[in-house]
């Protein structure tokens, strides 16, 4: 699973602090006097600001799985130099914050709508991100192994983990998991103290793939092939993704690929496909080790079957 880490951020922060401690800028601010504080650096890279209390949104996408997936968040000590003793930082999931955020978004939509009517301009789009309504992530979908993390003496960061269990979640719902620093043993908690994780659910088979394949037409037509063709597989449900059929997206030929329990693959036409005869035509398997679809399928054309053999590998 994709872990939510600001990789290398603590190291970069330490370098910035070290450089700052050796110099002063043009306004004569002495960075050696910079106060020590604790933050969630991921919030500094998320956006936009949700509240004046330092809440920031960050989108992540998780595969549908009954197995726990770790959501890891870096807690950073922002200081001129590390502390000489360990620091315990307390974090909390507060789902009441989702209710507050939804209320703020509704109020903003009403205010913007009123302003639009007043000015005679177009009404705002209720579905836009700034007015979005979120659903608190159900308690059955996560657990918090520990409510505290310890930044060891001489260190600048530690990781806090939450386990996500996504098998019972809906693909079409905007879930939110707010995580906040609530205590830092007397050290200041700075502006970047809260991150609102917006959790989208996807199939584990979703992604960008490279396809190599060929299509055989009934005699005496000439066959053709493709190499290194980029294909984007998108989620339909936990086991099914949508893909271009052969090299025919320009003709609106799309297919559904369903991975069965034994890793065999069922191929069929997507409901919107211009041709509704796309189907298995031989062995179709998914290799979970190499993350590759190996497919033999066909569709019926005016002069008979068009037979496709194709390998689709995750990039």
The alpha carbon of residue 62 and the mean position of all alpha carbons in its chain are separated, in whole angstroms, by: 6
Domain CATH code at residue 163: 2.60.40.1740
Instruction: Tell me the pLDDT tens digit for each residue of 252-296.
Output: 999 999 999 999 999 999 999 999 999 999 999 999 999 999 999
Element (H, E) at 108: helix 96-119
Q: Is the peptide bond before 220 cis (omega within 30 degrees of 0)?
A: yes
In a domain, 164, yes or no: yes
- For 142-162, b/e burial (b = at least 16 CB within 10 A) is beeeeeebebeeeebbbebeb
Task: Give 89's Cβ-side CA count (13 Å radius).
Answer: 28
pTM for the complete prediction? 0.69
Question: What is the number of domains present in the chain?
Answer: 2
Listed in sequence order, the residues at least 6 apart from 11 whose beta carbon sits closer than 8 Å to its beta carbon are none
Examine the domain organization and report whether 238 and 149 are in the same domain.
no
- Quickly list DSSP for 89-107: EEEEE-THHHHHHHHHHHH
Residue 120 lies inside a defined structural domain of this protein: no
Residue 170 and residue 257 in one domain: no
Asked if residue 109 belongs to a domain, the reply is: no
Distance of CA 50 to the CA centre of its chain: 19
Residue 166 lies in a domain: yes
Rg (CA), the chain: 26
Residue pLDDT tens, the chain, 315 long? 444 443 334 433 433 333 333 333 445 545 456 688 999 988 877 655 444 344 577 777 788 888 888 999 999 998 888 899 999 999 999 898 889 888 988 999 999 999 999 999 999 998 887 888 899 999 999 999 999 999 999 999 999 999 999 888 888 788 999 999 999 999 999 988 988 898 888 888 999 999 999 999 987 777 899 999 999 999 998 889 999 999 999 999 999 999 999 999 999 999 999 999 999 999 999 999 999 999 999 999 988 999 999 999 999
Residues 229 and 308 in one domain: yes
CA 143 to chain centre: 19
In a domain, 3, yes or no: no
Domain residues for the domain of 29 are: 9-95+137-202
What distance in Å separates the CA atoms of residue 273 and residue 307, rounded to the nearest whole number?
17
Q: List beta partners, residue 231.
A: 209
What is the rounded CA–CA span in Å between residue 124 and residue 133?
15
3-state helix, strand, coil in the chain (%, to 5): 15, 40, 40
175 and 268 belong to one structural domain:
no
Q: Measuring CA to CA, how many Å separate 189 from each of 37, 67, 76, 77, 276?
A: 5, 34, 10, 10, 59
* b/e map 287-298, b = 16+ CB within 10 Å: eeeeebbbbbbb
Task: Say whether both 171 and 231 belong to one domain.
Answer: no
Q: Which of 255, 220, 228 is nearest to 240 (CA)?
A: 255
Between the alpha carbon of residue 218 and those of residues 222, 268, 280, 295, 306, the distances in Å are 9, 21, 17, 19, 7
């Amino acid at each position: 699973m994709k872990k939510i880490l600001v990789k290398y951020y603590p190291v970069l922060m330490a370098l910035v602090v070290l450089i700052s401690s050796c110099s002063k800028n043009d306004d004569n601010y002495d960075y050696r006097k910079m106060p020590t504080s604790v933050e969630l650096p991921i919030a500094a890279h998320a956006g936009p600001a949700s509240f004046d209390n330092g809440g920031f949104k960050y989108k992540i996408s998780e595969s549908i799985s009954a197995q726990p997936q770790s959501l890891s968040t870096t807690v950073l000590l922002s200081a001129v130099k590390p502390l000489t003793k360990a620091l315990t930082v307390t974090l909390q999931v507060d789902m009441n914050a989702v209710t507050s955020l939804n209320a703020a978004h509704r109020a903003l939509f009403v205010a913007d709508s009123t302003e639009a009517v007043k000015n005679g301009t177009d009404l705002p789009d209720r579905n836009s991100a700034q007015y979005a309504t979120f659903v608190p992530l159900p308690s059955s979908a996560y657990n918090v192994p520990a409510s505290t993390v310890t930044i060891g003496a001489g260190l600048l960061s530690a990781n806090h983990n939450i386990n996500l269990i996504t098998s019972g979640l809906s693909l079409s719902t905007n879930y939110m998991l707010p995580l906040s620093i609530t205590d830092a043993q007397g050290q200041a908690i700075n502006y970047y103290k809260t991150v609102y994780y917006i959790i989208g659910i996807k199939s584990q088979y979703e992604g960008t793939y490279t396809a190599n394949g060929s299509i055989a037409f009934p005699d005496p037509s000439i066959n053709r092939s493709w190499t290194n063709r980029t294909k984007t597989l998108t989620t339909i449900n936990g086991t099914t993704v949508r893909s271009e059929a052969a090299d025919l997206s320009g003709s609106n030929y799309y297919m559904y690929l369903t991975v069965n329990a034994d890793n065999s693959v069922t191929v069929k036409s997507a409901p919107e496909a211009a041709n509704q005869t796309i189907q298995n035509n031989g062995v179709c398997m998914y290799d979970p080790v190499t993350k590759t679809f190996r497919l033999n399928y066909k569709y019926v054309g005016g002069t008979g079957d068009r037979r496709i053999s194709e390998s689709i590998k995750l990039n």
